[in-house]
Protein backbone atom coordinates (compact mmCIF):
# COMPACT_ATOMS: atom_id res chain seq x y z
CA UNK A 1 0.00 0.00 0.00
CA UNK A 2 1.39 3.40 -0.93
CA UNK A 3 2.12 5.78 1.90
CA UNK A 4 0.60 9.26 1.91
CA UNK A 5 3.98 10.70 0.81
CA UNK A 6 4.21 8.29 -2.12
CA UNK A 7 0.67 9.13 -3.12
CA UNK A 8 1.30 12.88 -3.00
CA UNK A 9 4.50 12.57 -4.96
CA UNK A 10 2.88 10.30 -7.54
CA UNK A 11 -0.10 12.64 -7.92
CA UNK A 12 2.16 15.65 -8.37
CA UNK A 13 4.28 13.84 -10.92
CA UNK A 14 1.21 13.19 -13.02
CA UNK A 15 0.16 16.86 -13.05
CA UNK A 16 2.16 17.84 -16.17
CA UNK A 17 0.34 15.08 -18.03
CA UNK A 18 -3.02 16.22 -16.68
CA UNK A 19 -2.32 19.78 -17.88
CA UNK A 20 -1.11 18.62 -21.24
CA UNK A 21 -4.02 16.23 -21.95
CA UNK A 22 -6.76 18.68 -20.97
CA UNK A 23 -8.74 19.88 -24.01
CA UNK A 24 -6.98 17.44 -26.34
CA UNK A 25 -8.81 14.93 -28.51
CA UNK A 26 -8.07 11.23 -28.11
CA UNK A 27 -9.63 8.55 -30.28
CA UNK A 28 -9.74 5.15 -28.59
CA UNK A 29 -10.37 1.93 -30.46
CA UNK A 30 -11.09 -1.34 -28.75
CA UNK A 31 -11.84 -4.56 -30.60
CA UNK A 32 -14.82 -6.74 -29.70
CA UNK A 33 -12.57 -9.13 -27.75
CA UNK A 34 -11.53 -6.20 -25.58
CA UNK A 35 -15.12 -5.20 -24.85
CA UNK A 36 -15.84 -8.81 -23.83
CA UNK A 37 -12.77 -9.02 -21.55
CA UNK A 38 -13.27 -8.85 -17.75
CA UNK A 39 -10.89 -5.87 -17.60
CA UNK A 40 -13.26 -3.79 -19.76
CA UNK A 41 -15.08 -2.35 -16.74
CA UNK A 42 -11.73 -1.03 -15.42
CA UNK A 43 -11.09 0.52 -18.83
CA UNK A 44 -14.49 2.21 -18.59
CA UNK A 45 -13.51 3.65 -15.19
CA UNK A 46 -10.30 5.03 -16.69
CA UNK A 47 -12.18 6.47 -19.66
CA UNK A 48 -14.54 8.19 -17.19
CA UNK A 49 -11.54 9.67 -15.40
CA UNK A 50 -10.08 11.00 -18.65
CA UNK A 51 -13.45 12.59 -19.42
CA UNK A 52 -13.46 14.28 -16.01
CA UNK A 53 -9.95 15.58 -16.65
CA UNK A 54 -11.18 17.40 -19.75
CA UNK A 55 -9.94 15.02 -22.44
CA UNK A 56 -12.17 15.01 -25.53
CA UNK A 57 -12.87 11.34 -26.15
CA UNK A 58 -14.14 9.35 -29.08
CA UNK A 59 -14.54 5.64 -28.41
CA UNK A 60 -14.82 3.28 -31.36
CA UNK A 61 -15.59 -0.33 -30.56
CA UNK A 62 -15.17 -3.45 -32.68
CA UNK A 63 -17.56 -6.37 -32.65
CA UNK A 64 -16.12 -9.31 -34.55
CA UNK A 65 -16.65 -12.08 -31.92
CA UNK A 66 -20.06 -10.66 -31.02
CA UNK A 67 -21.15 -10.80 -34.68
CA UNK A 68 -19.86 -14.39 -34.91
CA UNK A 69 -21.89 -15.30 -31.81
CA UNK A 70 -25.01 -13.73 -33.33
CA UNK A 71 -24.43 -15.64 -36.57
CA UNK A 72 -24.21 -18.92 -34.67
CA UNK A 73 -27.50 -18.16 -32.88
CA UNK A 74 -29.09 -17.57 -36.30
CA UNK A 75 -27.45 -20.60 -37.90
CA UNK A 76 -25.67 -18.40 -40.48
CA UNK A 77 -22.18 -19.35 -41.69
CA UNK A 78 -19.65 -16.47 -41.37
CA UNK A 79 -18.12 -15.55 -44.73
CA UNK A 80 -14.72 -13.83 -45.04
CA UNK A 81 -12.72 -12.88 -48.07
CA UNK A 82 -9.13 -12.25 -47.04
CA UNK A 83 -9.54 -10.78 -43.59
CA UNK A 84 -12.70 -8.85 -44.41
CA UNK A 85 -16.19 -10.05 -43.55
CA UNK A 86 -18.68 -10.40 -46.38
CA UNK A 87 -21.86 -8.99 -44.87
CA UNK A 88 -24.52 -10.70 -46.95
CA UNK A 89 -28.27 -10.32 -46.41
CA UNK A 90 -28.29 -13.18 -43.92
CA UNK A 91 -25.41 -11.68 -41.88
CA UNK A 92 -26.66 -8.08 -41.74
CA UNK A 93 -29.23 -8.62 -38.96
CA UNK A 94 -26.50 -10.26 -36.86
CA UNK A 95 -24.24 -7.21 -37.41
CA UNK A 96 -27.02 -4.77 -36.46
CA UNK A 97 -27.96 -6.81 -33.41
CA UNK A 98 -24.33 -7.11 -32.21
CA UNK A 99 -23.79 -3.36 -32.69
CA UNK A 100 -26.98 -2.47 -30.83
CA UNK A 101 -26.23 -4.72 -27.89
CA UNK A 102 -22.63 -3.58 -27.58
CA UNK A 103 -23.48 0.09 -27.83
CA UNK A 104 -26.17 -0.22 -25.19
CA UNK A 105 -23.91 -2.26 -22.91
CA UNK A 106 -21.12 0.32 -23.18
CA UNK A 107 -23.55 3.22 -22.63
CA UNK A 108 -24.86 1.41 -19.55
CA UNK A 109 -21.35 0.94 -18.16
CA UNK A 110 -20.54 4.60 -18.79
CA UNK A 111 -23.73 5.60 -16.98
CA UNK A 112 -22.87 3.84 -13.74
CA UNK A 113 -22.40 5.96 -10.68
CA UNK A 114 -22.52 3.65 -7.71
CA UNK A 115 -21.15 4.97 -4.45
CA UNK A 116 -17.85 3.29 -3.51
CA UNK A 117 -17.00 2.79 -7.19
CA UNK A 118 -14.63 4.88 -9.33
CA UNK A 119 -17.67 5.97 -11.34
CA UNK A 120 -19.32 7.68 -8.36
CA UNK A 121 -20.19 11.24 -9.38
CA UNK A 122 -18.85 10.83 -12.93
CA UNK A 123 -22.19 11.69 -14.64
CA UNK A 124 -20.96 10.99 -18.13
CA UNK A 125 -22.95 11.88 -21.21
CA UNK A 126 -22.53 9.62 -24.20
CA UNK A 127 -23.35 10.66 -27.77
CA UNK A 128 -23.82 8.28 -30.63
CA UNK A 129 -25.38 8.95 -34.00
CA UNK A 130 -25.33 8.82 -37.75
CA UNK A 131 -21.95 10.55 -38.00
CA UNK A 132 -20.49 8.17 -40.58
CA UNK A 133 -21.70 8.20 -44.18
CA UNK A 134 -20.76 4.96 -45.92
CA UNK A 135 -20.82 3.32 -49.33
CA UNK A 136 -20.45 -0.31 -50.36
CA UNK A 137 -16.94 -1.55 -51.00
CA UNK A 138 -18.50 -3.46 -53.90
CA UNK A 139 -17.11 -6.43 -55.80
CA UNK A 140 -13.45 -7.43 -55.41
CA UNK A 141 -11.85 -10.52 -56.98
CA UNK A 142 -15.32 -11.46 -58.14
CA UNK A 143 -16.64 -11.40 -54.55
CA UNK A 144 -19.54 -9.08 -53.73
CA UNK A 145 -19.02 -7.76 -50.20
CA UNK A 146 -22.71 -6.78 -50.04
CA UNK A 147 -23.31 -4.72 -46.86
CA UNK A 148 -19.63 -4.41 -45.98
CA UNK A 149 -18.79 -0.81 -46.63
CA UNK A 150 -16.22 1.93 -46.45
CA UNK A 151 -16.39 5.50 -45.25
CA UNK A 152 -17.63 8.08 -47.70
CA UNK A 153 -17.48 11.02 -45.33
CA UNK A 154 -17.77 11.95 -41.67
CA UNK A 155 -19.86 14.56 -39.97
CA UNK A 156 -16.85 16.04 -38.20
CA UNK A 157 -18.63 19.27 -37.22
CA UNK A 158 -21.31 17.39 -35.30
CA UNK A 159 -18.73 15.18 -33.58
CA UNK A 160 -16.80 18.32 -32.59
CA UNK A 161 -19.95 19.86 -31.17
CA UNK A 162 -20.61 16.80 -29.01
CA UNK A 163 -17.01 16.92 -27.80
CA UNK A 164 -17.31 20.68 -27.12
CA UNK A 165 -20.27 19.75 -24.94
CA UNK A 166 -18.10 17.42 -22.89
CA UNK A 167 -19.81 14.28 -24.22
CA UNK A 168 -17.97 11.05 -24.96
CA UNK A 169 -18.66 10.14 -28.57
CA UNK A 170 -19.28 6.40 -28.89
CA UNK A 171 -19.21 4.86 -32.35
CA UNK A 172 -19.90 1.38 -33.61
CA UNK A 173 -18.23 0.40 -36.87
CA UNK A 174 -21.38 1.08 -38.85
CA UNK A 175 -22.21 3.68 -41.45
CA UNK A 176 -25.33 4.78 -43.27
CA UNK A 177 -25.75 5.62 -46.95
CA UNK A 178 -27.89 8.40 -48.37
CA UNK A 179 -30.08 5.58 -49.76
CA UNK A 180 -30.84 4.60 -46.16
CA UNK A 181 -28.79 1.40 -46.06
CA UNK A 182 -26.61 0.22 -43.20
CA UNK A 183 -23.00 -0.78 -43.84
CA UNK A 184 -20.66 -2.84 -41.73
CA UNK A 185 -17.30 -1.06 -41.54
CA UNK A 186 -13.85 -1.88 -40.24
CA UNK A 187 -13.33 -0.52 -36.73
CA UNK A 188 -9.77 0.50 -37.66
CA UNK A 189 -10.99 2.53 -40.64
CA UNK A 190 -13.60 4.34 -38.55
CA UNK A 191 -11.12 5.15 -35.78
CA UNK A 192 -8.31 6.35 -38.05
CA UNK A 193 -10.58 8.41 -40.30
CA UNK A 194 -12.15 10.12 -37.29
CA UNK A 195 -8.76 10.72 -35.65
CA UNK A 196 -7.44 12.29 -38.85
CA UNK A 197 -10.65 14.28 -39.43
CA UNK A 198 -10.59 15.66 -35.88
CA UNK A 199 -6.81 16.33 -36.03
CA UNK A 200 -6.67 14.29 -32.85
CA UNK A 201 -3.74 14.49 -30.51
CA UNK A 202 -3.74 10.74 -30.03
CA UNK A 203 -5.12 7.54 -31.40
CA UNK A 204 -5.04 4.81 -28.78
CA UNK A 205 -5.55 1.17 -29.70
CA UNK A 206 -6.28 -1.41 -27.05
CA UNK A 207 -5.05 -4.79 -28.24
CA UNK A 208 -4.48 -8.22 -26.79
CA UNK A 209 -0.73 -7.73 -26.14
CA UNK A 210 1.18 -5.23 -24.04
CA UNK A 211 1.97 -3.32 -27.25
CA UNK A 212 3.94 -4.04 -30.40
CA UNK A 213 6.33 -6.93 -29.87
CA UNK A 214 9.59 -7.57 -31.70
CA UNK A 215 10.73 -10.90 -33.13
CA UNK A 216 11.88 -12.02 -29.66
CA UNK A 217 8.51 -11.19 -28.12
CA UNK A 218 9.93 -8.12 -26.37
CA UNK A 219 7.84 -4.98 -26.08
CA UNK A 220 8.88 -2.20 -28.48
CA UNK A 221 8.48 0.92 -26.33
CA UNK A 222 8.75 3.44 -29.11
CA UNK A 223 8.25 2.69 -32.72
CA UNK A 224 10.54 4.28 -35.27
CA UNK A 225 10.92 3.35 -38.88
CA UNK A 226 13.88 1.18 -37.92
CA UNK A 227 11.28 -1.38 -36.88
CA UNK A 228 9.66 -3.20 -39.70
CA UNK A 229 6.09 -3.64 -38.64
CA UNK A 230 6.06 -7.16 -40.07
CA UNK A 231 8.59 -7.86 -37.34
CA UNK A 232 6.10 -6.96 -34.69
CA UNK A 233 2.92 -8.68 -33.71
CA UNK A 234 0.20 -10.97 -34.87
CA UNK A 235 -3.37 -10.29 -33.85
CA UNK A 236 -2.69 -6.65 -33.03
CA UNK A 237 -1.11 -6.00 -36.42
CA UNK A 238 -4.16 -4.27 -37.86
CA UNK A 239 -4.32 -1.98 -34.79
CA UNK A 240 -0.68 -1.04 -35.13
CA UNK A 241 -1.07 -0.42 -38.86
CA UNK A 242 -4.06 1.80 -38.11
CA UNK A 243 -2.04 3.84 -35.58
CA UNK A 244 0.83 4.18 -38.04
CA UNK A 245 -1.40 5.34 -40.85
CA UNK A 246 -3.17 7.85 -38.58
CA UNK A 247 0.21 9.20 -37.45
CA UNK A 248 1.46 9.42 -41.02
CA UNK A 249 -1.65 11.45 -41.83
CA UNK A 250 -1.09 14.01 -39.07
CA UNK A 251 -2.34 12.51 -35.79
CA UNK A 252 0.42 13.40 -33.36
CA UNK A 253 0.79 10.19 -31.43
CA UNK A 254 -0.38 6.60 -31.55
CA UNK A 255 -0.41 4.23 -28.61
CA UNK A 256 -0.84 0.48 -28.65
CA UNK A 257 -1.61 -0.90 -25.21
CA UNK A 258 -3.26 -3.95 -23.72
CA UNK A 259 -6.95 -4.27 -22.91
CA UNK A 260 -6.07 -7.12 -20.58
CA UNK A 261 -3.85 -5.14 -18.26
CA UNK A 262 -5.59 -3.23 -15.49
CA UNK A 263 -4.54 0.44 -15.55
CA UNK A 264 -2.57 0.25 -18.84
CA UNK A 265 -4.40 3.31 -20.18
CA UNK A 266 -3.53 5.47 -17.16
CA UNK A 267 0.04 4.21 -17.02
CA UNK A 268 0.50 4.98 -20.72
CA UNK A 269 -0.92 8.49 -20.44
CA UNK A 270 0.35 9.65 -17.05
CA UNK A 271 3.82 8.13 -16.62
CA UNK A 272 7.07 8.78 -18.40
CA UNK A 273 7.73 5.20 -19.39
CA UNK A 274 4.15 4.31 -20.33
CA UNK A 275 2.80 0.80 -20.56
CA UNK A 276 2.79 -0.11 -24.23
CA UNK A 277 4.14 1.11 -27.54
CA UNK A 278 4.29 4.77 -28.48
CA UNK A 279 4.13 5.66 -32.15
CA UNK A 280 5.34 9.14 -32.99
CA UNK A 281 4.06 11.29 -35.79
CA UNK A 282 6.36 11.40 -38.77
CA UNK A 283 7.91 8.06 -38.24
CA UNK A 284 9.85 8.94 -41.32
CA UNK A 285 11.86 10.91 -38.81
CA UNK A 286 14.68 8.65 -37.89
CA UNK A 287 16.59 9.46 -34.71
CA UNK A 288 20.05 7.93 -34.92
CA UNK A 289 23.72 8.37 -34.08
CA UNK A 290 25.88 10.31 -36.52
CA UNK A 291 28.29 8.58 -38.89
CA UNK A 292 31.18 9.93 -40.95
CA UNK A 293 28.84 10.39 -43.95
CA UNK A 294 26.87 12.96 -41.94
CA UNK A 295 29.65 15.51 -41.53
CA UNK A 296 28.56 17.59 -44.54
CA UNK A 297 24.93 17.59 -43.39
CA UNK A 298 25.78 18.57 -39.80
CA UNK A 299 28.04 21.41 -40.97
CA UNK A 300 25.30 22.71 -43.25
CA UNK A 301 22.93 22.74 -40.28
CA UNK A 302 25.23 24.36 -37.72
CA UNK A 303 27.36 26.76 -39.77
CA UNK A 304 24.72 29.50 -40.13
CA UNK A 305 24.41 29.51 -36.31
CA UNK A 306 28.17 29.56 -35.87
CA UNK A 307 28.32 32.57 -38.18
CA UNK A 308 25.71 34.49 -36.18
CA UNK A 309 27.41 33.59 -32.89
CA UNK A 310 24.67 31.33 -31.49
CA UNK A 311 27.05 28.38 -31.50
CA UNK A 312 30.79 28.12 -30.88
CA UNK A 313 32.68 27.36 -34.09
CA UNK A 314 33.68 23.73 -34.67
CA UNK A 315 36.13 22.86 -37.42
CA UNK A 316 35.45 19.89 -39.69
CA UNK A 317 38.41 18.11 -38.02
CA UNK A 318 37.03 18.65 -34.51
CA UNK A 319 33.60 17.53 -35.66
CA UNK A 320 35.13 14.34 -37.08
CA UNK A 321 36.69 13.47 -33.73
CA UNK A 322 33.49 14.27 -31.84
CA UNK A 323 31.10 12.63 -34.22
CA UNK A 324 30.19 9.76 -31.89
CA UNK A 325 28.71 12.30 -29.48
CA UNK A 326 26.11 13.47 -32.01
CA UNK A 327 22.52 12.31 -32.34
CA UNK A 328 20.61 13.30 -35.46
CA UNK A 329 17.11 13.39 -36.81
CA UNK A 330 16.94 12.43 -40.45
CA UNK A 331 13.98 12.78 -42.73
CA UNK A 332 14.03 11.48 -46.28
CA UNK A 333 17.82 11.48 -46.30
CA UNK A 334 18.12 15.03 -44.97
CA UNK A 335 19.47 15.91 -41.53
CA UNK A 336 16.81 18.08 -39.94
CA UNK A 337 18.24 18.36 -36.42
CA UNK A 338 21.26 17.46 -34.32
CA UNK A 339 22.42 17.53 -30.71
CA UNK A 340 25.48 16.31 -28.88
CA UNK A 341 26.15 14.78 -25.48
CA UNK A 342 29.58 15.22 -23.90
CA UNK A 343 30.14 13.04 -20.84
CA UNK A 344 33.03 13.72 -18.41
CA UNK A 345 35.10 10.69 -17.44
CA UNK A 346 33.94 9.16 -14.14
CA UNK A 347 31.54 12.00 -13.36
CA UNK A 348 27.77 11.69 -13.29
CA UNK A 349 27.30 14.88 -15.30
CA UNK A 350 27.33 15.51 -19.04
CA UNK A 351 27.05 18.52 -21.33
CA UNK A 352 24.32 18.95 -23.87
CA UNK A 353 25.54 21.04 -26.76
CA UNK A 354 24.91 21.96 -30.35
CA UNK A 355 21.14 21.48 -30.20
CA UNK A 356 20.00 22.67 -33.59
CA UNK A 357 16.83 22.18 -35.57
CA UNK A 358 16.75 23.22 -39.23
CA UNK A 359 14.70 26.46 -39.46
CA UNK A 360 12.07 24.82 -41.69
CA UNK A 361 11.48 22.06 -39.18
CA UNK A 362 11.22 24.06 -35.95
CA UNK A 363 8.25 24.12 -33.59
CA UNK A 364 7.36 20.49 -34.19
CA UNK A 365 8.99 19.10 -31.06
CA UNK A 366 12.12 17.91 -32.82
CA UNK A 367 14.26 19.81 -30.32
CA UNK A 368 12.34 18.19 -27.49
CA UNK A 369 12.60 14.77 -29.12
CA UNK A 370 16.38 15.10 -29.38
CA UNK A 371 16.67 16.27 -25.81
CA UNK A 372 14.65 13.35 -24.52
CA UNK A 373 16.85 11.04 -26.58
CA UNK A 374 20.00 12.50 -25.06
CA UNK A 375 18.46 12.17 -21.59
CA UNK A 376 17.73 8.50 -22.18
CA UNK A 377 21.23 7.95 -23.55
CA UNK A 378 22.72 9.74 -20.53
CA UNK A 379 20.65 7.76 -18.04
CA UNK A 380 21.89 4.60 -19.71
CA UNK A 381 25.44 5.75 -18.96
CA UNK A 382 24.65 6.36 -15.28
CA UNK A 383 24.64 10.14 -15.73
CA UNK A 384 22.48 12.01 -13.23
CA UNK A 385 22.70 15.63 -14.41
CA UNK A 386 22.88 17.42 -17.73
CA UNK A 387 24.20 20.93 -18.15
CA UNK A 388 24.11 23.37 -21.01
CA UNK A 389 25.84 26.66 -21.74
CA UNK A 390 23.75 28.99 -23.81
CA UNK A 391 23.62 32.62 -24.81
CA UNK A 392 20.26 32.79 -26.58
CA UNK A 393 18.22 29.74 -25.79
CA UNK A 394 17.91 30.01 -22.02
CA UNK A 395 14.15 30.05 -21.97
CA UNK A 396 13.82 27.03 -24.22
CA UNK A 397 16.04 25.00 -21.91
CA UNK A 398 14.23 26.29 -18.83
CA UNK A 399 10.96 25.16 -20.34
CA UNK A 400 12.50 21.73 -20.76
CA UNK A 401 13.27 21.49 -17.03
CA UNK A 402 16.77 23.02 -16.87
CA UNK A 403 17.46 25.30 -13.92
CA UNK A 404 19.80 28.24 -13.53
CA UNK A 405 23.18 27.19 -12.16
CA UNK A 406 26.65 28.67 -11.77
CA UNK A 407 30.10 27.89 -13.08
CA UNK A 408 30.91 26.22 -9.77
CA UNK A 409 28.34 23.55 -10.54
CA UNK A 410 30.28 22.44 -13.61
CA UNK A 411 33.02 19.79 -13.82
CA UNK A 412 36.56 21.19 -13.34
CA UNK A 413 37.61 20.54 -16.97
CA UNK A 414 34.66 22.58 -18.20
CA UNK A 415 35.27 25.45 -15.78
CA UNK A 416 38.82 25.80 -17.07
CA UNK A 417 37.59 26.04 -20.68
CA UNK A 418 34.80 28.53 -19.95
CA UNK A 419 34.91 31.42 -22.38
CA UNK A 420 34.24 34.57 -20.32
CA UNK A 421 33.77 36.66 -23.46
CA UNK A 422 30.73 34.66 -24.51
CA UNK A 423 29.17 35.10 -21.03
CA UNK A 424 27.05 32.00 -21.58
CA UNK A 425 24.48 31.19 -18.94
CA UNK A 426 24.71 27.84 -17.19
CA UNK A 427 21.70 25.55 -16.77
CA UNK A 428 21.48 22.18 -15.13
CA UNK A 429 18.80 19.48 -15.18
CA UNK A 430 18.55 16.51 -12.83
CA UNK A 431 17.62 13.48 -14.89
CA UNK A 432 17.94 10.82 -12.25
C1 LIG B 1 16.06 25.90 -29.79
C2 LIG B 1 15.69 24.92 -30.90
C3 LIG B 1 16.66 23.77 -30.90
C4 LIG B 1 14.27 24.41 -30.63
O5 LIG B 1 13.90 23.48 -31.62
P6 LIG B 1 12.36 23.13 -31.95
O7 LIG B 1 12.32 21.80 -32.60
O8 LIG B 1 11.72 24.27 -32.63
O9 LIG B 1 11.80 23.01 -30.48
P10 LIG B 1 10.43 22.57 -29.95
O11 LIG B 1 9.46 22.30 -31.06
O12 LIG B 1 10.71 21.46 -28.99
O13 LIG B 1 10.00 23.88 -29.14
C14 LIG B 1 9.57 25.00 -29.82
C15 LIG B 1 9.18 26.09 -28.84
O16 LIG B 1 10.37 26.66 -28.29
C17 LIG B 1 10.36 28.06 -28.50
N18 LIG B 1 11.74 28.53 -28.71
C19 LIG B 1 12.54 28.33 -29.75
N20 LIG B 1 13.70 28.95 -29.57
C21 LIG B 1 13.63 29.57 -28.38
C22 LIG B 1 14.51 30.41 -27.64
N23 LIG B 1 15.69 30.72 -28.09
N24 LIG B 1 14.09 30.84 -26.44
C25 LIG B 1 12.87 30.55 -25.97
N26 LIG B 1 11.99 29.78 -26.63
C27 LIG B 1 12.36 29.29 -27.83
C28 LIG B 1 9.52 28.23 -29.76
O29 LIG B 1 9.01 29.53 -29.82
C30 LIG B 1 8.44 27.19 -29.54
O31 LIG B 1 7.50 27.62 -28.63
P32 LIG B 1 6.00 28.00 -29.06
O33 LIG B 1 5.53 26.85 -29.90
O34 LIG B 1 5.31 28.13 -27.74
O35 LIG B 1 6.14 29.24 -29.81
C36 LIG B 1 15.67 25.61 -32.29
O37 LIG B 1 14.87 26.77 -32.21
C38 LIG B 1 17.01 25.98 -32.82
O39 LIG B 1 17.63 25.21 -33.56
N40 LIG B 1 17.51 27.18 -32.46
C41 LIG B 1 18.77 27.68 -32.91
C42 LIG B 1 19.93 26.92 -32.28
C43 LIG B 1 20.05 27.12 -30.79
O44 LIG B 1 19.80 28.18 -30.26
N45 LIG B 1 20.47 26.04 -30.11
C46 LIG B 1 20.71 26.00 -28.70
C47 LIG B 1 22.13 26.20 -28.41
S48 LIG B 1 22.86 24.83 -27.58
pTM of the model: 0.66
- For domain 20-280, say whether CATH 3.30.465.10 is its number: no
Distance 359 CA to ligand 1 centre (A): 10
For residue 304, what pLDDT is reported?
93
For residue 87, what pLDDT is reported?
93
- Atom of ligand 1 minimally distant from the CA of 358: 39
For residue 54, what pLDDT is reported?
94
Nearest CA to 181 out of 92, 100, 60 is that of: 92
With 80 as the cut, is the pLDDT of residue 14 above it? yes
Q: Which of 298, 309, 367 to mutate to test the pocket of ligand 1 (most atoms within 8 A of CB)?
A: 367
For residue 11, what pLDDT is reported?
86
Q: Which of 282, 396, 402 to mutate to test the pocket of ligand 1 (most atoms within 8 A of CB)?
A: 396
- Atom of ligand 1 minimally distant from the CA of 310: 44
Percent of the chain exceeding pLDDT 90 equals 67
For residue 330, what pLDDT is reported?
87
For residue 281, what pLDDT is reported?
66
For residue 225, what pLDDT is reported?
47
Q: In whole angstroms, how far apart are CA 118 and each of 44, 58, 274?
A: 10, 20, 22
For residue 338, what pLDDT is reported?
97
From CA 46, how far away is CA 60, in angstroms rounded? 15
Region of residue 354 (left: phi > 0; alpha: psi -120 to 50; beta: else): left
For residue 332, what pLDDT is reported?
64
pLDDT band at 223 (very low <50, low <70, confident <90, very high): confident
Residues 6+ apart with CB under 8 A from 62: 29, 30, 31, 32, 33, 34, 35, 173, 187
Collapse the DSSP code of 231 into the 3-class scheme (helix H, G, I; strand E, B; otherwise coil) and give the result: helix
Please provide the size of the chain in residues.
Answer: 432
For residue 284, what pLDDT is reported?
60
What are the tens digits of pLDDT across the range 343-381?
998 899 999 999 999 998 898 889 999 999 999 999 999
- Atom of ligand 1 minimally distant from the CA of 352: 48
Q: Provide the CATH topology of domain 286-430.
A: Aminopeptidase (3.40.630)
Instruction: Tell me the H-state helices in 343-425.
Output: 366-380, 394-399, 412-417
Angle among Cα 254, 260, 266 to the nearest 5 degrees reads 50
Average pLDDT of the chain? 90
H or E segment and range at residue 257: strand 253-258
CB 425 within 8 A of CB 395: no
DSSP-assigned letters across all residues of 43-83: HHHHHHHHHHTT-EEEEEE--HHHHHHHHHHHT----EETT
Domain layout of the chain by residue ranges = 20-280, 286-430
Q: Pick the residue whose CA is nearest to atom 17 on ligand 1.
A: 396
What are the tens digits of pLDDT across the range 240-282?
989 988 988 888 889 999 999 999 999 999 987 789 998 876 5
pLDDT (average), residues 325-354: 91
For residue 100, what pLDDT is reported?
95
For residue 216, what pLDDT is reported?
78
Residues 6+ apart with CB under 8 A from 250: 196, 199, 281
Q: Pick the residue whose CA is nearest to atom 32 on ligand 1.
A: 363
What are the tens digits of pLDDT across the range 98-154?
999 999 999 999 988 777 777 788 788 999 999 999 999 988 888 888 999 999 999
Helix axes 237-248, 187-197, angle to 10 degrees: 20
Nearest CA to 166 out of 23, 21, 18 is that of: 23
- Atom of ligand 1 minimally distant from the CA of 364: 11
Q: Pick the residue whose CA is nearest to atom 10 on ligand 1.
A: 365
Distance 389 CA to ligand 1 centre (A): 15
Distance 246 CA to ligand 1 centre (A): 26
Q: Report residues whose beta carbon is within 6 angstroms of any ligand 1 atom.
A: 305, 310, 353-357, 362-368, 390, 392-393, 395-396
For residue 420, what pLDDT is reported?
85
Amino acid sequence: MATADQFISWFRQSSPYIHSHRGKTFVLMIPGDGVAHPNFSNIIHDIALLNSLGVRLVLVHGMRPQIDAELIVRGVEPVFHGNVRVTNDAALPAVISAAGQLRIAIEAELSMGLANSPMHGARIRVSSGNFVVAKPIGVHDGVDFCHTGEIRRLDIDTIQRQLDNGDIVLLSPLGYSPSGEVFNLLMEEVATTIAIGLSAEKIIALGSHKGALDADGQLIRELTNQHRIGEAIDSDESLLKACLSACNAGVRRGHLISYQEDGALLQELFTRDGAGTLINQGDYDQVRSATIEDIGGILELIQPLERDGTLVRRSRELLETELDRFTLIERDGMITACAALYPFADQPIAEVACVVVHPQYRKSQRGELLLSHLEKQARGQGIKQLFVLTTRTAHWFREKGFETATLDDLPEQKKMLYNYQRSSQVFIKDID
